[in-house]
Homo-oligomer: A and B are copies of this chain.
Amino acid sequence: MRRALRLAEHAASIGEVPVGALVVDAEGHTLAEASNRREHDADPTAHAEVIALREAARKVGTWRLDGCTLCVTLEPCPMCAGALVNSRIARVVYGAADPKMGCVDTLHALCTEPRFNHRLEVVSGVLAEECADVLRTFFAARRGEEKPEKPRPTT
């Protein structure tokens, strides 16, 4: 998760919402690392998780990521939770919960939905505070840029 945090910080440094993800195989080797690139790629699917899953699959030569783990700083959205199910990955480990779009635990539980053709192990809350802080800092800075704070009256 420390590495995923660095990837999230990289996203922030290029003006993207800071989320980072990596895919590790059953032996612990990193297959893919990614930062969110939605703005830079002008691609609604370019979340860190999707990019990492695509690269990992390319690396192993099949769309099936049996036995692998995806580690991500923010709880996956419906698209990314669905992509995890579709990839047949074994496990997702995430940091901060996402009250707005989280679909692993918060709004839906798509990764453990018994009616789908694959379910995966879920580990949540790993370095949750640090992961949430990267997002908080990014959005606070952006709000600061958009609405420069007025000098306070000195009364």
Contact = CB atoms under 8 A, between A and B. Distances in A.
A117 B50 CA distance: 20
B78 A63 contact: no
A86 B82 contact: no
A88 B116 CA distance: 25
Contacts of A45: 45, 50, 53-54, 83, 86-87
Interface stretch (A3-11, A25-33, A106-114): A106-114
A108 B58 CA distance: 30
Contacts of A116: 78, 100-101, 107
A81 interface: yes
A116 B85 CA distance: 20
Contact of A107 (B39, B58, B60, B113): B113
A136 interface: no
Interface residues of A, number: 41
Contacts of A86: 44-45, 47, 77, 79
A137 interface: no
A24 interface: no
Contacts of A65: 44
A44 B58 contact: no
A42 interface: yes
A134 interface: no
Given A78-B116, A79-B86, 9 more contacts: A42-B58, A43-B57, A44-B64, A45-B50, A46-B63, A78-B78, A79-B81, A101-B116, A107-B116
